[in-house]
Amino acid sequence: MTQTYNIGGPAGSIRSLIKGIIAIAAVIGGLFLMAASAAVAFFLILGLLILAALIIAFIWAKAKLTGKPFGPKAYFKAHGFDFEADFDAASIKNPGAKPDDKPRAKYGPIIDAHQTPEGWSVDD
């Protein structure tokens, strides 16, 4: 006949006490690991934000030192002023402007469309 052995440890209240202590230790260890991973994530995000701020500061300082506009609004505003100045120089305010003035060289050929008896005609 075979004998069976109880390998689960001592029976009764001592066994319950040991299981409770192990469960409490596991919860404390889990909370510690969660706090440690949250701290790592916090410092990782903080480092990325600091890196982004340094990059933006570098680009802003470079734009200020070179005199170029920074950001899309400033970029398009500066180019809009240039375009208006070129347009004014070659249009109504300067009717004697030659076709080979600055706007042609900067923006390509200027096309003029006018209506003729046969239809529309486009000249550059």
Q: Among 16-20, 25-29, 78-82, 103-107, which is the least confidently predicted range?
A: 103-107
Kind of pairing between the strands at 112-116 and 119-123: antiparallel
* In the chain, where the domains are located: 12-68, 71-111
- 111 vs 94: CA distance, rounded Å: 17
Q: Which residues contact 108 (CB under 8 A, 6 or more apart)?
A: none
Tell me the pLDDT tens digit for each residue of 12-71: 778 788 889 999 999 999 999 999 999 999 999 999 999 999 999 998 898 888 877 777
